Amino acid sequence: MATIALTTTGVTFRPSNRHITAVYTDGTSAWVGTDNGEVHKFTLATGAYVEKLIQVSGKVLSFALSGTQLLIGTDEGKVYEYVLSTGACTEVELYLDSPVTAMSINSTTIVVCTADGKIRTYTIA
């Protein structure tokens, strides 16, 4: 088995004494979700806090990123689209009845996994 060499950047981040429930990185930035629906961004290279982006309904459980679209999945079965370039945030109407535990997105497809064991795919129009 190969060994992964790790180094720490010394990043310590605890937003408003909330529990961190999800994290996503693109290699440059990291987005952190909390148990009360907050989404925060920080820079990986320096560990510098950038900003609180948004607060959504429910506990943030998952993220997916494609270009400037950050998808946010919650324990209420909701998916939100946050547009990084504008700060606009809207609920994506998927009508899920189970927590969104994992997601993936590319230019044509969104894949959503929920706690009830279902995997759903959606074509982006």
Domains in the chain with CATH codes: 20-123 (2.40.128.630)
Asked if 61 contacts 99 with a C-beta cutoff of 8 angstroms, the reply is yes
CA distance 105 to 11: 27
* pLDDT reading at 9 higher than 90: no
* pLDDT reading at 16 higher than 70: no
CA distance 82 to 73: 11
Q: Kindly report, residue by residue over 17-64, the tens digit of the pLDDT.
A: 679 999 999 989 999 999 999 999 988 888 888 899 999 999 999 999
Residues listed for the chain: 125
Q: For residue 16, what is the DSSP state?
A: G
CA distance 92 to 73: 10
**Percent of the chain residues topping a pLDDT of 70:** 90
